Chain A
Amino acid sequence: MACSFPYTYVSCPCADTPVPDPARKRRSRESPQKSTPERTNASSGQDTQEVKPPHTQDEQDEEEEEEQTFDPRSPRSNFSLYPPEQLLYCEDCHQIKCPRCITEEIVSWYCPNCLFETPSSMVRGDANRCGRNCFNCPVCTAPLSVSTIENVTGNGNQQGPWVLSCGYCLWTTLDIGIKFDKPTNIRNQLQKMTDSLSGPAFDTRSRQGSRAFGDLKSPLSNLASIEEPAPTQDGAGGLPAQNDQEVTPHLGAEARFATLKSFYRSQISETSTSPSDPMGSDFGFSSPGALNRLMSLYASSSRLSGLYGGNKKQKPKPPVMREAINASEGLRIASEDGDASIIERLASPDCGWDGVASLSQRTEQSPDVRFSHDLMPLPVLLRTKRAKRCKSCKHILVKPETKPQSTRFRIRLIALSYIPLPTLRPLTLPSSSLVPSPAPDLNALAPLRPVHVLLTLKNHMFDPVRITLATPSVTPGRVASKVTVLSPQFDIGPNSDVWDEALQGASAPITTDPRLRAAEKVPEAGKVWDKGRNWTTVVLEVVPGTLPGSEAEGGKEGADEDELAVASQQDEDVLEIPVFVHMEWDAEAQLEQQNVGKEAKPGDLVARELAYWMVLGVGRITASL
């Protein structure tokens, strides 16, 4: 499925332990595709699973699931399969850790473009984006560069308006009519411009307006109880009404949000009267319950109510939060003509298909953007360096250096130091004495014709490892290919000193040229193909299955082209072999375990085992024989 065949993926064991849902009994992990009949777990290897007496229904379920063959085709497996080099290993839990079973802590923030580190206090203020001159093209996402419009004669001091231009799609900010006065601090300049585009006049005015409005309003709410006409209020109401007419169309989402927020804030502070208000409790003011009760106690006695509430007429009408009534408070009435202008613009010849921002372009922009003319350059998103911890034991797995320029890690426990690295390559068998046949084209495997692939496992640990491989004899999915591991059980040597091997090699008589030896070799059941210092190669015999609808399948005349195409679309023709790897080794007891187990002495060996599924992508099966 990845870029090229062959490839290997490792499934993180965390997929077998789903998040426990406390509410209900675990629902079964069955994928919809698992309706296919249960495949026998018959494998060429020894099945290490012992049959336990079933105790309860639950346990039976569990066991069934454990026995279930890993299906690389299930949509869920896409989320648990990782290339081996992306996995980590927790030394405390002795388990493979994928991005799903770690927690992450941010160490530092930096801009991937200028590699400047952003202090954590400024990250939020810059909206998680670079605050300097780094921008991405809104059309094609390539980085933009600052350049002048006028090519001034002297190279020394370039003058004049500056623009951001894209080197890939030749988009410049001139397309949207933006020039900069200075080549530095572009982000700020742009910010000012966008503010002015979305009506800064309105923004300041409205804020002042609403503030003035609030100022007028809050004394009024007291006055209201005296039932006095308030002529000033009309004036205040009139002003925003004017605003309403003028500026509604230009108000951006952020600006409108700000006005709404200030409106709600003023409403809240207005309506929540002083705690001495006897009616407070009626509206559930969240003053502490005790105080509230006390207040209502006092309020009930008419004698004291005068002290606190004062005017009795205030009682029947406590201030209630109202809704926004004009644009200065964030209300926006849809215009009558509606989207006529948009429709006109859509239909106009100079807009066309390319004039409309595509979906991926729009997701990065503010929600109002619709046309490609409205696209703004995007400041580069910051990136983070993150430390990673094991989710279950909090053991730290990865700790990078803080500096953005440094690519080094203080701690990094990658899984490949613990699990053998699987590599796959096709076996080219010399056909008797003729010229060696070319390697089979992995992108076009002929169905029903056996292929031999070599699986090499390379050990990176300093201890020898015993490996047991198991595969389902028939791969899951609609295209059933037969798979046999010729030697399912083998050992891999330790990752010892390279000199050891060299010395060993020297002692051994150099009789046969390894090439020659390989040429003579024939894959044989029960025999390891090749073995080195810390690696072992075994042979897998694969008989690719037939694609549904292909001529090889049955007596059908001519392949069903459509069905074949669908198969290739859904990657059904990709030959993937799930392999269960079980590894055992004797590790030196670690320090903590010495403390726990008292008998353990330094140098004691502890038997370890690790088991996981891995997926080998062999190739694509063609339709024709």
Chain B
Amino acid sequence: MSATSNLRHSQTARPSSPHTPQQPLRSANTSFASASSPGSSFRNEDDAIIFEIGARCLRAGFEGNGTPVCVKRFGPEEMRRAADYRGWIHGDIGAGPLPKPVNAEDWVRDYELWQPDLKNVDLGLVEDKIERVFRETYNQYLLTDAGTSRLVLALPALMPHPLLSSLLSIIFGRWRFPSITLLPSATMSATAAGLRSALVVDLGWAETTVTGIYEYREAVTKRSTRAMRALMLETGRFLTRLASGNDNDEEDDDKEESSDGDISVGFTYCEEVTAMDQTISIPSPKNPEHEYQDLPLSDMAKSVEKVMLAPDVPECDLDDEEKSIPLLVYNSLLCLPPDARGICMARIVFVGGGARIPGLRQRILKEVRLLIARHGWSPIRGKVVERQRQRLEELKITSQTNSHSQSPDNIPAGTMDDEKEKSDPSKEEPEADFVDQKLRRQNKDTPVLIQGILREVESLGPWAGASLVTSLKIRGTVEIEREKFLQYGLAGATRDLEQPVPDRRSGLRAGDRSSWTLAGWA
């Protein structure tokens, strides 16, 4: 949570030298850092390396760059033995129909680095994969000596501890990294959008995470399994149906599964246009090399709609973990305190693989707008509540008709609307309060915060955010030093989440890192 909650403080912590180029700043910082905390890694002249690791792919690059040097995906090809070149001989391994429908779980497993459910995950295998992909990334793309410079990992805020432990111990054990800094990806996405508060919707692989970030703190997190993994399965099923054609209806739905050609190219074709009667042709799932098959674009869109938006399912039928994305966004906004809600709803950031599906983001926002219009910001709904409100309205109407002296054009519908708006503090028109006026006069130079409207802000993604933050020499709360980790492992982290914050406030800088914390990852 508070992994970068110190962002503001440490940002303001820089020596004041306006418009100074980077180099002097850095040296000044060095002197400061050495004065306040000896052994700080800021003295490292090398640029930090930033890795963003997800279940499907890995991004790596140097701090201060806008785009990662490389993006590596995990797949069966990456699991081959050394000097096993079959992938090059046979062409795309994913192409072509599978000889036999395979279990859906098996179908995707090869392409994942890990699954959120660690019961079936062989952590040793995960370690092997991480080691290999790190080594190859360094040797092929980064072209620096591994382990000499600081390492920054942008990770999802919720990582299973065994996984985190494996990840850290393989990196520390394999190379001599002096320290590893963990940065939460949601906050980094907000930073990469230039925002301090945002509602980050991460349409990720295994799950969609909606994180409300207020002043760089994660205020609320909600997640749903309606994510790219489910979409891949749905697309696979759809293409299977396409391939099997008319002759046999459909073999057992859930279990039976077939590969759709190039596994992720399918993503781009998933469209969010329901009314599109043109046809596109895709390589036929039966014979991807030679044939093309025409199908309406809207068919692709349908599977996206079914997975992400769940249009036909009433809300009450959805399990807690599979709320549709608009509902998830709405609920997380609802959970936020009104002030934060107003700010966050005007700063919705979509990241993750699903954000690339054209039209999906607009569709989600539209649905959220609809939900807001329907329910306002009240979590209470249901028949009884409705009845009660109607009764209250009737009461009001009668009272209004009684006191006829008031403005006649104030029709009941208007009051209802007013009421609705009242219940929505973010939409509320500020009254002419003398305190407000004074405040506004004082804050004249600060730009007006846009709030209370639904607005989407584009982000450069968590990797760019981490690169940005690191290049500004901001320290994360979670900075794990090599020796300490090797001694105690994850157990060495202090559990006291609150500890660093007051320290910083009094300017003591968190007890010069003699203890380290996992902050939000604890």
Using a CB–CB cutoff of 8 Å, the interface residues on chain A facing chain B are: 1-3, 9, 18-24, 27, 29-32, 75-76, 78-83, 86, 99-100, 103-106, 109, 123-124, 127-128, 211, 214-215, 218, 220-221, 223-224, 227, 229-230, 233, 237, 253-258, 260-261, 263-275, 281-289, 292-293, 296, 317, 320-325, 329-334, 338-340, 342-343, 346-347, 352-353, 356, 358-359, 363, 366-367, 370, 381-382, 384, 386, 391, 561-563, 565-566, 568-569
Contact across chains for A343 and B145 when beta carbons are under 8 A apart:
no
Contact across chains for B173 and A332 when beta carbons are under 8 A apart:
no
Contact across chains for A562 and B99 when beta carbons are under 8 A apart:
yes
Chain B interface main SS type: mixed
Contact across chains for A332 and B143 when beta carbons are under 8 A apart:
no
The residue on B at minimum CB distance from A217 is B445
Q: For the complex, is B268 an interface residue (Cβ under 8 Å from A)?
A: yes
Given that A218-B18, A347-B280, A566-B102 are contacting pairs, would A321 and B12 also be in contact in the complex, using a CB cutoff of 8 Å?
A: yes
C-alpha gap A236/B445 in the complex (Å): 12
Contact residues of B between 81 and 114, Cβ < 8 Å to A: 81-86, 89, 98-100, 102
Contact across chains for B472 and A343 when beta carbons are under 8 A apart:
no
C-alpha gap A400/B6 in the complex (Å): 47
Contact across chains for A230 and B488 when beta carbons are under 8 A apart:
no
Minimal beta-carbon separation of A396 from chain B (angstroms): 14
C-alpha gap A568/B79 in the complex (Å): 17
- Scan B247-288; emit 1 where CB is below 8 A from any A CB, else 0: 000000000000000101100110111001010111100000
A333: chain B residues within 8 A (beta carbon): 455-458
15 pairs from A and B in contact (CB 8 Å cutoff): A76-B125, A79-B79, A128-B69, A255-B66, A260-B460, A269-B18, A269-B20, A284-B505, A332-B458, A343-B272, A343-B358, A343-B359, A346-B297, A353-B283, A566-B102
Additional pairs, 5, CB under 8 Å, beyond known A2-B83, A22-B485, A253-B66: A21-B489, A257-B467, A264-B472, A317-B442, A346-B297
Contact across chains for A288 and B169 when beta carbons are under 8 A apart:
no
C-alpha gap A1/B82 in the complex (Å): 10
Q: Which among A23, A255, A266 is the interface contact of B488 at CB below 8 angstroms? A: A23
Using a CB–CB cutoff of 8 Å, the interface residues on chain B facing chain A are: 6, 8-20, 32, 35-36, 47, 62, 64-67, 69-73, 79-86, 89, 98-100, 102, 120, 122-125, 127-129, 131-132, 135, 138-147, 165-166, 169-170, 173-176, 192-197, 262, 264-265, 268-269, 271-273, 276, 278, 280-283, 292, 297, 356, 358-359, 361-362, 441-442, 444-447, 450, 455-458, 460-461, 464, 467-468, 471-472, 485-492, 504-509
B175: chain A residues within 8 A (beta carbon): 103
Contact across chains for A272 and B14 when beta carbons are under 8 A apart:
yes
The residue on A at minimum CB distance from B279 is A347
The residue on B at minimum CB distance from A99 is B135
Minimal beta-carbon separation of B492 from chain A (angstroms): 8
Contact across chains for A272 and B13 when beta carbons are under 8 A apart:
yes
A109: chain B residues within 8 A (beta carbon): 143
C-alpha gap A3/B362 in the complex (Å): 49
Contact across chains for A261 and B471 when beta carbons are under 8 A apart:
yes
The residue on A at minimum CB distance from B33 is A286
Contact across chains for B8 and A269 when beta carbons are under 8 A apart:
no
B142: chain A residues within 8 A (beta carbon): 128
A22: chain B residues within 8 A (beta carbon): 169, 485-489
C-alpha gap A128/B80 in the complex (Å): 26
C-alpha gap A86/B82 in the complex (Å): 9
A267: chain B residues within 8 A (beta carbon): 11
A271: chain B residues within 8 A (beta carbon): 11-12
Minimal beta-carbon separation of B34 from chain A (angstroms): 10
Q: For the complex of A and B, list the 4 residue pairs with the smallest distance between their C-beta atoms, beginning with the closest.
A: A23-B489, A257-B66, A565-B99, A324-B194
Given that A24-B165, A128-B69, A257-B468 are contacting pairs, would A281 and B506 also be in contact in the complex, using a CB cutoff of 8 Å?
A: yes
Given that A253-B460, A287-B32 are contacting pairs, would A366 and B193 also be in contact in the complex, using a CB cutoff of 8 Å?
A: no
B83: chain A residues within 8 A (beta carbon): 2, 82-83, 86
